[in-house]
Chains A and B, each alone.
Chain A
Amino acid sequence: MGIELLGGRILAPYFGSSVHIWGSIITVFMLSLSFGYLLGGKLSTKNASLTKYGLIFLVASIMVVPITLFSQPIMEFIFTHIEDSRYGSLLASTALFFIPTIILGMISPYSVRLLVTDNEKSGQVAGILYFVSTLGSALGTIITSFYFVLAFDVNTIISAFASTLGLLGVLAIVINSLAGNKELAHA
């Protein structure tokens, strides 16, 4: 959500602040999240592990980086080739946000797979996950729009998001390998 919010700021210099900008951004985020959920669910059926979970975070973190590096030339190109700012902004937000958001969308279903140990409690686990992720989205939105933009550059904020994702990914992988070593030691 933090990134979605900044999306409006990133696109404004090239596509303005008309209503259709937000239409484009929200459409792309919803579309890519939905694909992400599907993919994440599918992936979780194949030898789910904390390491793979960490890898999703890592890949997401890497995919966010192009937003800071290449958004200018990408938008410049689209701006000069598409006259209508509705389709321009739709294409630009697809180019910038589609892939990272798909990968971010994979996290939720994969989390369900890792956290559900008891079928009886699967609903409860899913409930808690929805709670955490939606609450996180709400916090991300308000903190970004109320405070971060006052203090930092847009790129700095996005880099911080990317680093956080990357760190979480590494953390998951390290924890898993430590746990794996212990299991070996016990064996």
Chain B
Amino acid sequence: MLKYLLLALSVFSAVATGEVIHEERSLYRNIIVDETRDLRCLKFNTKSSQTSQSCMYKNDPDKLVFNYTKLTFASLLVTQNPKNVLVIGLGGGTLSNVIHELYPAAKIHNVEIDPAVLKVARDYFNFIETDNVTSSVQDGRIFIKRAAIKKQKYDWIILDAFNGDYIPEHLLTKEFFEEVQSVLADGGVIAANTFSSSKLYEHESATYHSVFGDFINVSRPNRSNRIILAGIKTMPTQAQLNERISALGPRLKKYDVDIKAISTYMQSTKNNQDWPANTKILTDQYSPANLLNF
């Protein structure tokens, strides 16, 4: 009986998630590439759930699928013409591709812990690699620690490392953010992809605030993603913002990024802290990140 029930369920879920076109067993998890009509997605397969890490429209690969990917481009309103971009957590390589198209002269380095993810990005998501766009298979924290020793600087640092559950614990601590800060160039910005629905929300905010001071939350009301823009030295004036919005608007349109709308989702934490003052900060010593998140 149970067998039939499971069979029925698996048939049902196969219909719901589309057709699996590739499976990759990595050291960390199973990676699935599946397709539902035009939409191709990279998923991490855990027993309890499948979480989409990256998606693209096959017939319109420029168009961004995820809300959070679009929100990430709010970074370009607070920093201009990035020259050295660091992306921690590759996924399908979508962010890297778009940034490369926007700024062909910019150096982009992608850091991904899982060699299988890199392989899938190359084989199924048209991940572009050139002299300017490079990638390394490494833990993000180690990469940044080594970069700090070599005194490298980046003017746009995107933190987008996720395992099946959430952001790995050691990439969500005060010490880590201090290391990130040390490789941030003057006038640069850090964009971190986080979940607004997580129980860690307040801890995350307090931890970011403890290292970077006031930061900008970019999130749409009632949506589950928020992008944190941190490390900004001087906030742009409203006039500058308007100027940048009208300059970027047409360039970002083909990616389905409405930068004008996104600019209205930006809110500084200055005079607007939405976490209790006594919230415990996450550190290397205290980071029950993945536990709190359930």
Binding site for B on A (CB under 8 A): 9, 12-19, 79-80, 83, 85, 146, 149-150, 152-155
Bound Cα distance A13, B179 (Å): 10
Tell me the smallest distance from the CB of B160 to a CB of chain A, in Å: 16
Give the contacting residue for B170; candidates A16, A80, A146, A152; CB below 8 A.
A16
B27 at the interface (CB under 8 A from A): yes
B129 at the interface (CB under 8 A from A): no
Among all A-B residue pairs, the 5 with the closest Cβ atoms: A16-B139, A12-B170, A153-B285, A150-B288, A19-B27
**Most chain A beta-carbon neighbours within 10 Å: one of B141, B149, B285:** B285
A85/B141 contact (C-beta < 8 A), A13-B284, A150-B288, A153-B286 known: no
Bound Cα distance A157, B27 (Å): 30
Tell me the smallest distance from the CB of A145 to a CB of chain B, in Å: 8
B145 at the interface (CB under 8 A from A): yes
Bound Cα distance A66, B80 (Å): 47
**Once the chains bind, are B285 and A17 in contact (CB under 8 Å)?**
no
**Once the chains bind, are A12 and B169 in contact (CB under 8 Å)?**
yes
Residues of B within 8 A of A83 (CB): 146
Residues of A within 8 A of B142 (CB): 14-16, 85
**Once the chains bind, are B141 and A12 in contact (CB under 8 Å)?**
yes
B175 at the interface (CB under 8 A from A): yes
**Once the chains bind, are B291 and A17 in contact (CB under 8 Å)?**
no
Tell me the smallest distance from the CB of A30 to a CB of chain B, in Å: 20
**Once the chains bind, are A155 and B141 in contact (CB under 8 Å)?**
no
Residues of A within 8 A of B141 (CB): 12-13, 16
Tell me the smallest distance from the CB of B284 to a CB of chain A, in Å: 5
**Once the chains bind, are A14 and B113 in contact (CB under 8 Å)?**
no
B28 at the interface (CB under 8 A from A): yes
Tell me the smallest distance from the CB of A15 to a CB of chain B, in Å: 7
Produce 1/0 per residue, B62-88, CB < 8 A to A.
Answer: 000000000000000000000000000
**Once the chains bind, are A146 and B113 in contact (CB under 8 Å)?**
no
Bound Cα distance A9, B287 (Å): 9
Residues of A within 8 A of B285 (CB): 153-155
**Once the chains bind, are B173 and A13 in contact (CB under 8 Å)?**
yes
Residues of B within 8 A of A18 (CB): 27, 113, 139
| Chain A minimum-CB-distance residue to B149 | A80
**Once the chains bind, are A14 and B145 in contact (CB under 8 Å)?**
yes
**Once the chains bind, are A17 and B168 in contact (CB under 8 Å)?**
yes
Tell me the smallest distance from the CB of B63 to a CB of chain A, in Å: 33
**Once the chains bind, are B113 and A16 in contact (CB under 8 Å)?**
yes
Q: Given A17-B170, A153-B283, list of 15 further CB < 8 A pairs?
A: A9-B169, A9-B170, A13-B173, A13-B175, A13-B176, A13-B284, A15-B142, A16-B139, A19-B28, A85-B142, A150-B291, A150-B292, A153-B286, A154-B285, A155-B285
| Chain B minimum-CB-distance residue to A17 | B168
Residues of B within 8 A of A15 (CB): 139, 142
Tell me the smallest distance from the CB of A152 to a CB of chain B, in Å: 7
Tell me the smallest distance from the CB of B144 to a CB of chain A, in Å: 11
Residues of A within 8 A of B287 (CB): 9, 149
Residues of A within 8 A of B263 (CB): none
Give the contacting residue for B291; candidates A80, A85, A149; CB below 8 A.
A149
Bound Cα distance A80, B150 (Å): 11
B138 at the interface (CB under 8 A from A): yes
Tell me the smallest distance from the CB of B61 to a CB of chain A, in Å: 31
Interface positions of B from 214 to 250, Cβ below 8 Å from A: none
Residues of B within 8 A of A152 (CB): 286
Tell me the smallest distance from the CB of B286 to a CB of chain A, in Å: 5
Residues of B within 8 A of A149 (CB): 286-288, 291
**Most chain A beta-carbon neighbours within 10 Å: one of B27, B28, B149, B286:** B286
Bound Cα distance A80, B142 (Å): 11
Interface positions of B from 132 to 156, Cβ below 8 Å from A: 138-142, 145-146, 149
Tell me the smallest distance from the CB of B255 to a CB of chain A, in Å: 32
A-B contact pairs, 27 of them (CB 8 A): A9-B169, A9-B170, A12-B169, A12-B170, A13-B173, A13-B176, A15-B139, A15-B142, A16-B113, A16-B141, A16-B142, A17-B168, A17-B169, A17-B170, A18-B27, A18-B139, A19-B27, A80-B149, A85-B138, A85-B139, A85-B142, A146-B291, A149-B286, A153-B283, A153-B285, A153-B286, A154-B285
